[in-house]
Structure 1
Amino acid sequence: MNDDDTVGAGRREWLGLAVLALPALLLALDLSVLSLALPRLSEDLSASSTQQLWISDIYGFLVSGFLITAGRLGDRIGRRKLLLIGAVGFALASALAAFSTSVWMLVTARALMGVAGATLAPSTLALISNMFRDPEQRALGVAVYVSCFMGGAAFGPVVGGILLQSFWWGSVFLLGVPVMALLLVAGPFLLPEFRDENAGTLDAPSVLLSLGAVLPIIYGIKESVRSGLSALTVTALVLGVLLGVLFVRRQRRLADPLLDLGLFRRPAFSAALVILLFAVGTQGGVMLLTNLHLQVVQGLSPLSAGLWGIAPALGMVVGSMTAPPLAQKSQPGTVITAGLAIAAVGYLMITSTPVSGLGLLIAGATVVFFGIGLVGALANNVVVGSAPPERAGSAAATAQTSGDLGIALGIAVLGSIGTGWYARRLTTGGDVPAEALDTARTSITDAATAAASLPGPAGRALLDAAGTAFTDGLHLAAAVSAALVVCLAVLAALTLRQRAGAATTGQPASARENIHSSTTHP
């Protein structure tokens, strides 16, 4: 690799980008297909409700928990090497999940998939940053990564539905095997190796503290959404915060920390992380309510709801791919500000959606996704572009962790706002028993169950009232999201004024000389 950071990428790098798109696509597919397979596999394996939660959550918990460690590990041993090791682990764990014969065998397989999956995302994004040193080309590479991730999330329910119609539930996990096999075959030939030659050994206490901070926080947020605040969830959140403080204090004392806190002193880096955290959070929270609206209020099947969800996902793909050329003509901060303003318009469209307004709801969601696509592509690029090359893995892991925390936080806060307002607004007259009404206030799904148990007129009255109240809750969550992204737009306008690559151009030579780059075959 040429020492000139602005050297243009060649055909090898662009073919390598196509290879790096595979893990992004797969990780998103894996997150979205399980919900369709869960009822059937739970029946076959006799999984209890608690065990179903373990099957669903263990993967995401361990991905989030190991991201920071995996990011720095890739900096140390080589990002391509870690990516290929993770690909082997993910393929083997996927096969184990597909042919699981017991609940805990499946939980173990999902846990192994989570650990392996944590190595894929930061390695992929860091390699894109290293391969495309030209700022404009790097922005396009990151946009392709974001687009593939979103495309996988959109088409996951569709692909999963097709597989489950023809094969057994384990087929949804086998998607990972051929994808990882292709990565293992093509990766050594198309992907160069990058590592920090001066990196020390991983600090074991830092690894444990990072896991101890992230896992309880993610658990506490998710459980508070599922069952409300309790002594356990509050304890988990407090424990996570305390261990996070200890983690930060330890990083400040280490010569070679697991997470370089100096990166947060760069205004563009910190601002982009905050924008990712809250912008993705609004998207996650409102989309949770939107999906419930589609399936319960609109009465669509999961597969039909997934098909309707393709339009917003395509909006994000278009936004992601449009962002780099727009940033070339302007500034990343200007495009990010515009994307947040567009998302605010989409949220305001959702606030005007009537109970049966499927078209306006999807249109509003598509506008939101387009705006967030502009934001996500460039904000991720700002994060990895603000870091020195030898810290690209850590920066990529930080961006991914910010997104994961944002989704969990958005679902918790906005989900609680929407469902809380729903419960407050749900009233009905007629012959609906008070007991059924109290049950319906618990959630919109409980309302559907309660309505189904009542005689025709009473059941319809309860379901109609629940649909109206839930739509009101969706409107409130969307209005809060609109206000929040407007605030983020102001932050972007004030802090992200540099042109693309300004944070990385002019890096001192010493920062580049510490990177070992090999484009030869192993």
Structure 2
Amino acid sequence: MLGLDLTLLHLTLPALAADLQPTSSQALWIMDAYGFLIAGFLITMGTLGDRIGRRKLLLIGAVAFAAASVLAAFSTSANMLIAARATLGVAGATLMPSTLALISNLFPNPRQRALGIGIWATMWGIGYALGPVVGGLLLTWFWWGAAFLIAVPVAILLLLLAPLLLPEYRAPDAGRLDLPSVLLSLAAMLPLVYGIKQIAKSSITLDVVMSILVGVLFAWVFIKRQRRLADPLLDLSLFSNRAFSVALIVLLFGLFAVGGTMLLVAQYLQLVLGYSPAAAGLWMGLAALAMIVGGTGAPLVARVIRPGFVVAGSLALSVVGYLLLTQLAPGAGGVTVAVAALALAYLCNGTIAALGTDLVVGSAPAEKAGSASAMTEMVQDLGISLGIALLGSIANAVYHRSMLSHLPSHLEQGTREAVVDSLWAASSVASELPVGLMAQTQAAFMAGLHSAAMFSAASVAVLTVLSAVALRHVGLTTPKDGG
């Protein structure tokens, strides 16, 4: 359910855009408000679960998630949908660390825990990967809002079964939740996110610089406060463990590349190759099978090969995938290259989600499992959302510059703005464009996709070296006491 909501709109965005008429900025917020708000509240909710009970928080979040899903399904404006997606993010933040922390309670044996987390990551990854497929199929039969209603029966099932099947866990001697720290964490992250998005979308302006500076200032105040508190919202001592810190970095930047790539490939299949949402979703679903291989296979491989080398190998394969994307062309055969490239990225996604999460959660004491789980979820969701925002904005900036230099002067103002804005906006006014201009918009989109893919390849190549060097001493996953 949570994975689906991160990517459900990838293939429904054109239909949604035709109905709600969002600007390109609003479209990006519709896509990533959910992930950003999850990331913003995960630390708070992970710590809250340790205090009031992880199962209790899970059930509260399920009710809130179902209600917000209904609100999103029947949104009548872009701003209303953004607000609903943000509410979903807050509700989702109660669910994600609770599920992962409960797995750490169920399986104290390291080998069992590693495989359990691998299966957990695979389930999340399947939902994340099937989002475009489900969204595309639902769009064939229903309106775009139906995609959100899937969460309602899932949440009801959770409410019925969780009290029967899941144990409750509450950290002994847990302190109170520090509300100033909660506010400081939000005040730090949201301005930073806004500034990054605006720089990627347009240019460096005074308000963007001020936003980033405000975020940095509040982040500094937040860290200072955590160091003074006897029972902090975020236990900074966890970062003294090198495996914990490096695993978080790998999760953040590895999923950063995957998140943006999924959105761009979805648009490529629909708007350049002309596939229907359902067909494009099925192609992307085929590539997603690699995620299952990575999520369930990596913990088994890590029993005989050091986890750091397994992570590095998967990252290196994903670099090959991103380089393949730089060779995509509008013509025939493009779908094969796109699916192969996406499969390599998905394989890496499953591997780092399983092994990276286990490294983070396994390095934390039991009473801090909720907080550690929140950290791993925060960086994963933030990585995906930043990837959607930044890589999407890099591609859009290249598109924008290219179209400004090829735009006929005689176009009407509304048509002109649509063509310059984005490929999906240009597609909505395709009947009004002169011969050859639509091909030019596709070429401009491809140039943007190539630039984003090259950026991903370079950043993940650096990450490959980092993981191989910094995690090379992390031991094999073995059971305690030879069990």
Normalised TM-score (structure 2): 0.86
Q: 1:498 aligns with which of 469, 474, 482?
A: 474
Could you say what the CA RMSD is over the residues aligned between the two structures, in angstroms? 3.3
Does structure 1 residue 374 correspond to structure 2 residue 374? no
Q: What code does the residue aligned with 1:197 have?
A: P
Q: What is the match of residue 444 of structure 1?
A: 423
Report SS of the residue matched to 2:149.
coil
- Aligned CA distance change for structure 1 residues 477 and 158 (closer, same or farther; 3 Å): closer
CA distance in 2, matches of 1:448, 1:109: 27
CA distance in 1, matches of 2:156, 2:272: 42
Q: What code does the residue aligned with 1:395 have?
A: A
Q: 1:142 aligns with which of 91, 105, 117?
A: 117
- Aligned CA distance change for structure 1 residues 260 and 486 (closer, same or farther; 3 Å): same
Q: 1:399 aligns with which of 376, 382, 390?
A: 376
- Aligned CA distance change for structure 1 residues 264 and 441 (closer, same or farther; 3 Å): same
Does structure 1 residue 157 correspond to structure 2 residue 136? no
Structure 1 position 225, deviation (Å): 4.3
Structure 1 position 442, deviation (Å): 5.0
1:231-290 Cα deviation digits (max 9, x unpaired): 444333222221111100100000110000011111000001111111111222333332
Does structure 1 residue 200 correspond to structure 2 residue 175? yes
Report SS of the residue matched to 1:133.
coil
Q: What code does the residue aligned with 1:62 have?
A: L
Structure 1 position 417, deviation (Å): 4.0
- Aligned CA distance change for structure 1 residues 284 and 239 (closer, same or farther; 3 Å): same
Report SS of the residue matched to 2:303.
helix
Normalised TM-score (structure 1): 0.80
Report SS of the residue matched to 2:169.
strand
Residues 136 and 280 in structure 2, CA contact (< 8 A), matched pair in contact too: no
- Aligned CA distance change for structure 1 residues 308 and 265 (closer, same or farther; 3 Å): same
Does structure 1 residue 94 correspond to structure 2 residue 58? no
1:340-489 matched pairs, under 5 angstroms: 340-356=315-331, 357-422=334-399, 433=408, 442-445=421-424, 448=427, 452-455=431-434, 459-460=435-436, 462-489=437-464
1:169-318 matched pairs, under 5 angstroms: 170-226=145-201, 228-318=203-293
Q: How many residues align?
A: 473
CA distance in 1, matches of 2:241, 2:33: 34
Residues 136 and 500 in structure 1, CA contact (< 8 A), matched pair in contact too: no
Residues 422 and 473 in structure 1, CA contact (< 8 A), matched pair in contact too: yes
Q: What code does the residue aligned with 2:408 have?
A: P
1:392-423 Cα deviation digits (max 9, x unpaired): 11111111111222223334443444444455
Residues 135 and 500 in structure 1, CA contact (< 8 A), matched pair in contact too: no
- Aligned CA distance change for structure 1 residues 232 and 307 (closer, same or farther; 3 Å): farther
Residues 332 and 499 in structure 1, CA contact (< 8 A), matched pair in contact too: yes
Q: What is the match of residue 6 of structure 2?
A: 31
Report SS of the residue matched to 1:433.
coil
Residues 132 and 284 in structure 2, CA contact (< 8 A), matched pair in contact too: no
Q: What code does the residue aligned with 1:364 have?
A: A
Q: What is the match of residue 511 of structure 1?
A: none
Residues 35 and 385 in structure 2, CA contact (< 8 A), matched pair in contact too: no
CA distance in 2, matches of 1:478, 1:380: 25
- Aligned CA distance change for structure 1 residues 334 and 104 (closer, same or farther; 3 Å): closer
Moved more, 134-143 or 261-270: 134-143
Q: What is the match of residue 306 of structure 2?
A: 331
Moved more, 123-132 or 320-329: 123-132
CA distance in 2, matches of 1:89, 1:451: 41
Residues 64 and 91 in structure 2, CA contact (< 8 A), matched pair in contact too: yes
CA distance in 2, matches of 1:54, 1:353: 27
CA distance in 1, matches of 2:206, 2:251: 30
Q: What code does the residue aligned with 1:326 have?
A: V
Q: What code does the residue aligned with 1:361 have?
A: A
Q: What code does the residue aligned with 2:355 have?
A: L
Unmatched tracts of structure 1, length 5 or more? 1-25, 507-522
- Aligned CA distance change for structure 1 residues 302 and 168 (closer, same or farther; 3 Å): closer
1:447-505 Cα deviation digits (max 9, x unpaired): 556764333xxx32x33344344334333332332232222121111221212458x97
Structure 1 position 218, deviation (Å): 2.6
- Aligned CA distance change for structure 1 residues 247 and 332 (closer, same or farther; 3 Å): same
Q: What is the match of residue 520 of structure 1?
A: none
CA distance in 2, matches of 1:500, 1:193: 30
Residues 218 and 408 in structure 1, CA contact (< 8 A), matched pair in contact too: no
